[in-house]
Structure 1
Amino acid sequence: MPVIQGDTRRSILDTAQRIMSRKGFAAVGINEVLSEAGVPKGSFYHYFSSKDAFGEAMMRSYFTDYLADMDRVFAEPDTTSAQRLLNYWQGWRETQSLDECQGKCLAVKLGAEVSDLSESMRLALKEGTTGIVDRLERAIAAGLEDGSLSVDGDARTTAQVLYDMWLGASVMAKIHRDIGALDAAMTVTRRLLHL
C-alpha cells in the first residue's frame, strides 16, 4: 500500500519528536530522523523548506497533540474541576519521571535551546505554552465556579504560576535525576488551589 504524503510528513514529525525529546534539536541531524522514519534522504525538502521550518512544524504538531490530550483530561465526566487539574498534574509527573526523569515534554527539552536558535520555533513554543496556560486558567475558573477549589489571586495568574513551577520542576528533575521536584510541585499545587 503506498504511503500517503500527509502520513509521511506526520511520520517524520513524530519520529523527530521521539528522538529530539532525548537528544535535543541541535544534536539531531535530519538524516537521523529520516533514516529512523524510513523516509528517503532526498525527500526532506519536499516536505519542509528548511530545518527551521521543520522544527516549527514539529513544535506545532507536538502542541496540537498535547492540547488535545489536555482537552480530554479536562472533559472527563463525573469529576470536579479540581480533580481534573490534579489528574493533569499527576499525568505530568508520570511522563516527566520516565527514563530516569528524562521526560517526554518538548517544551521542557527544547524550550531554552530553540528559543535562541529560531524565531519561528520560539513563536511556536510561545503559542503552544500559551494554549496550555489558557486551558489551565479555564479549568481553574471552572473549579472556582463548581466550588471544588479556591485561589488567592485570579485564575490567569494562578495558571501561569502553576505552569511555570511545573516546567521548572521538570528541569530540576532532569538535572537531579530525581522526582523530588515534581513531588514538591504537586504539594505546592495543592496549596495554591486550597485542596
Structure 2
Amino acid sequence: MPRPANPEIRNRLLIDGGHVIHRSGFNGSGVQDIVAAAEVPKGSFYSYFDSKEAFAAEVLEGYWESIEQRHGRVMYDAPLTPLARIEKLFELMVADHAAQDFRIGCLVGNLSLEVSNTSGVVRTALERILARWEGMITASLDEAKVRQELPADCDTAQLASVIIEAWEGAVLRSKVERNGEACRRFQQVTLKRLLY
C-alpha cells in the first residue's frame, strides 16, 4: 500500500524548489536541483507532480498568490484613489525586485520567455495569472472611469494589458542591467503617461 502524500514535503518542493526555478530558470534547473533544495529524495518529486512542467505551473500559481496576498489588498485601499492604488501596487513590486538586487526578475516574465512555447501546462498557468492580474488592474481603472479620472471612452481592459506588458519589459531590462533604472522609468514615465 503506497504511503499517503505528505503536504509538508509537497510544500517544501514548491517553495524551495520554486526558488531554484526562479533563480536558475526552468531549463537551468533539473529535478535533482529541485529536490536537493527541498531536501527530499529524488523519487519523491514524481509522487507529488506528474512532470516538471506541472511543477512549474504550480510554482507560478504560488508565486502569483504570494504577490496577491502581500500586495493585492492595496487595490482595495479605499483612502487611495483608484489610480494611486495601481501606482502603489507597482511601487511594492519594485521593492520586491530591489530586495533581490534586480537579479532574478519576475517569474511570470521569466517563464513566459523560457517555457511558454514548449509547455502548454505552463502557458495555461501563465494565461490564468495574467488574466487575474489584468482583472485586478481593470477593476481599479473602471472605478477611475466612474470617478471621471479617466476618459469615458477609455478601454480599461486594454489599458490594463498595456500596463502589465510595459512592466514586464521594464523588469526584464532591470534584470539584464542589474539595477532598478528601467523599473523607475516605468513608474515615473510610462505609468504616469498611461494613467494621467
Q: TM-score per shorter chain, which class?
A: 0.7 to 0.9
Contact 1:95–1:104 (8 Å) recurs in 2: no
Displacement of 1:157 in angstroms is 1.2
Contact 1:95–1:103 (8 Å) recurs in 2: no
Partner residue, 1:118: 119
Report the CA distance shift for 1:71/1:177 in structure 2 as closer, same or farther (over 3 A).
closer
Structure-2 separation of matches of 1:30 and 1:190: 43
Secondary structure of the structure 2 residue equivalent to 1:39: coil
Q: How many residues are treated as equivalent by the alignment?
A: 191
Contact 1:144–1:150 (8 Å) recurs in 2: yes
Contact 1:17–1:106 (8 Å) recurs in 2: no
Partner residue, 2:166: 165
Letter in 1 for 2:76: A
Report the CA distance shift for 1:165/1:117 in structure 2 as closer, same or farther (over 3 A).
same
Q: Structure 1 unaligned segments of length 5 or more: list them.
A: none
Partner residue, 1:58: 59
Structure-2 separation of matches of 1:79 and 1:179: 25
Displacement of 1:145 in angstroms is 2.4
Partner residue, 1:150: 150
Determine which structure has greater relative contact order: mean sequence separation of CA pairs < 8 Å that are 6+ residues apart, divided by chain length: 1
Give % identity. 25
Contact 2:75–2:82 (8 Å) recurs in 1: yes
Supply the RMSD in Å over aligned alpha carbons: 2.1
Partner residue, 1:190: 192
Structure-1 separation of matches of 2:8 and 2:182: 38
Letter in 1 for 2:113: A
Report the CA distance shift for 1:42/1:30 in structure 2 as closer, same or farther (over 3 A).
same
Contact 1:13–1:57 (8 Å) recurs in 2: yes
Partner residue, 1:99: 100
Structure-2 separation of matches of 1:88 and 1:80: 12
TM-score by structure 1 length?
Answer: 0.87
Structure-2 separation of matches of 1:97 and 1:103: 10
TM-score by structure 2 length?
Answer: 0.87
Report the CA distance shift for 1:104/1:184 in structure 2 as closer, same or farther (over 3 A).
closer
